[in-house]
Structure 1
């Protein structure tokens, strides 16, 4: 059983960590086997993913039950805050790597190779003419359209910035113990996130089918889809988190004094907003 000794919370024994480890192992083996052409690979991937989803529902359900029952103390609350802070920091570094790849390709590699820097052009690829956006030196004549900032990216920027406002209003409603206002603005945030994803799905469809902009469109296509695609994945995860938290708000799980579950999701959502602003500027506007 869970217990508190000397102000430090000791969780009870749980089977969820080993369940998650088994799920990740099966998922990894299945993915590797699929890439190697094994017929059973996709089924192993599906099994591993199913066990992982089962684990997440079970483990998070246990945490929610313990929180609602008042099993956690201030030390646990601090641990959760530090854990979420380091998680978001790791996500910042994740996106920083892809922004760095975009910077290197656009600001350094293309000028070196494409004739802007005459000396390096002569040394590395004499006679090559290259300007951003480009599919790269091996596909200098590859025809495609780049994604403009208007209309969909601009609309999505407005949607995400508005969602940052709505979740902040919901947070203030929670601290004021106004559940009706809290739930209303949380569902508004969920709706804005879902609308963003629908617009981005349409954008990807247009890029892939009408603009010849795919993952095969050299360095521009790969950096575009890696940055926007991973951000879209994070928005998807964030929207799911918002739905869960909204349902918990409807059940009255949070109080004005104790609601880090809400705050953690709000932190994550604001992080998603900030990353999108960087994407909008460096991927779409400064093309």
Structure 2
């Protein structure tokens, strides 16, 4: 009886990078929280420096972990079974990200469709104005904050329009999905020049998007008085757009790593899951932005 053949399954050795990443995320959370509080209170503290330390440590973790993964892949240690595991892992990761953004969109829906109408007198709740302030109007965006009601009764915050920078950023991200698709087609057809050019254009579009989002935040703070202190509208606006910006930043870093791997001759038309996973993530980020643009800016 012929001896049954088993497919190898590579199990990597223990790594320090998960715990390094956990420490980095902890520092980022503590630093960002303290930085926001310090800015709101007009005080000086350690929040900004802790945030920078966390970001630096996260970059070190990403660099080291990516290097280990690339070395293992290029050494031929992976098998078809491990490739299927990676695909399942990436699919579950994107699903978790879907749930992450679903929670924030759910908070936005609850505030707009349930909480604010109830505060305005819906469901026979007729005494709300006596608890809040005279003249409270259940409209969205809710631009009058309690501080405004106590002082002037007029809104100090302006809503961010969907035209201008948000519309430009939407066009940029949609274009980046198209350019990344052309790069992927070039890889599948083994056209390295097409792959390199279109991937480089995608990275450039991502960087421009991030730069314009910084300009949008500066405009919000300086010209519209739209800050994290601007009530539920300001909170949901910055949480949704800010976390999406973090995902675009991570996606851009992934694409940059893929770009340098392409320059080194990595990937073949049949073996390129790392590139495919990066594409999945980038297209997911683009879809989230389209939803965000519609529900946060337009409606």
Give the TM interval when normalised to the shorter protein: 0.7 to 0.9
Conserved 8 A contact 2:143-2:231: yes
CA distances 1:77-132 after superposition (whole Å, capped 9, x unpaired): 111111111111111111111111111111111111124x2722x14444553221
Residue 278 of structure 1, CA deviation: 0.5
- For 1:8, the equivalent position in structure 2 comes to 9
Aligned residues: 280
* Equivalence map 1:222-261=2 (5 Å): 222-261=235-274
C-alpha distance 39-102 of structure 1, shift in aligned 2 (>3 A): closer
Conserved 8 A contact 2:142-2:231: yes
Q: SS state of the match for residue 213, structure 1?
A: coil
Q: SS state of the match for residue 12, structure 1?
A: coil
Provide the C-alpha distance between the structure 2 equivalents of 1:100 and 1:267, rounded to a whole number of angstroms.
Answer: 24
Alignment of 1:267 onto 2:280:
yes
Provide the C-alpha distance between the structure 1 equivalents of 2:269 and 2:253, rounded to a whole number of angstroms.
Answer: 23
Residue 23 of structure 1, CA deviation: 5.0
Provide the C-alpha distance between the structure 2 equivalents of 1:235 and 1:7, rounded to a whole number of angstroms.
Answer: 36
Residue 134 of structure 1, CA deviation: 0.9
- For 1:84, the equivalent position in structure 2 comes to 90
Alignment of 1:156 onto 2:164:
no
Query: What TM-score do the two structures reach when normalised by structure 2?
Result: 0.84
C-alpha distance 86-136 of structure 1, shift in aligned 2 (>3 A): farther
Alignment of 1:133 onto 2:138:
no
- Structure 2 unaligned spans of 5+: 1-5
- For 2:232, the equivalent position in structure 1 comes to 219
Conserved 8 A contact 1:26-1:48: yes
Conserved 8 A contact 2:176-2:202: yes
Residue 66 of structure 1, CA deviation: 1.1
Conserved 8 A contact 2:220-2:227: yes
User: CA-atom RMSD, angstroms?
Assistant: 2.7
- For 1:147, the equivalent position in structure 2 comes to 160
- For 2:115, the equivalent position in structure 1 comes to 109
C-alpha distance 41-167 of structure 1, shift in aligned 2 (>3 A): closer
Q: SS state of the match for residue 254, structure 1?
A: coil
